[in-house]
A and B are shown apart, each in its own frame.
Chain A
Amino acid sequence: DVKVTQSSRYLVKRTGEKVFLECVQDMDHENMFWYRQDPGLGLRLIYFSYDVKMKEKGDIPEGYSVSREKKERFSLILESASTNQTSMYLCASSQQGPSTYEQYFGPGTRLTVT
Chain B
Amino acid sequence: AQSVTQLGSHVSVSEGALVLLRCNYSSSVPPYLFWYVQYPNQGLQLLLKYTSAATLVKGINGFEAEFKKSETSFHLTKPSAHMSDAAEYFCAASRGGTYKYIFGTGTRLKVLA
Contacts and interface: CB of A to CB of B under 8 A. Distances in A.
B99 A40 contact: no
A108 B103 contact: no
B49 interface: yes
Interface of A: 4, 9, 31, 33, 35, 40-45, 48, 50, 58, 90, 92, 94, 96, 98-108
Interface of B: 9, 32, 34, 36, 41-46, 49, 51, 90, 92, 94, 97-101, 103-106
Contacts of B104: 42
Given A107-B41, A107-B42, A107-B43, A48 B49 contact: no
Contacts of B36: 105
22 contacts: A9-B41, A31-B99, A35-B103, A40-B105, A42-B104, A42-B105, A42-B106, A43-B44, A43-B90, A44-B103, A45-B101, A90-B44, A94-B99, A99-B99, A100-B51, A100-B94, A102-B46, A103-B44, A103-B101, A105-B36, A105-B45, A108-B41
Contact of B9 (A40, A44, A101): A40
Given A31-B99, A50-B99, A100-B32, A105 B94 contact: no
A9 B104 CA distance: 24
B99 A42 contact: no
Interface of B is mostly: loop
B97 A99 contact: yes
Given A48-B100, A102-B34, A42 B90 contact: yes
B51 to A, nearest CB: 4
Nearest to B96: A99
Given A40-B105, A42-B106, A99 B98 contact: yes
Nearest to B108: A39
A35 B92 CA distance: 13
Contacts of B90: 42-43
Contacts of A41: 105
Given A43-B103, A98-B51, 4 more contacts: A9-B41, A31-B99, A92-B43, A101-B99
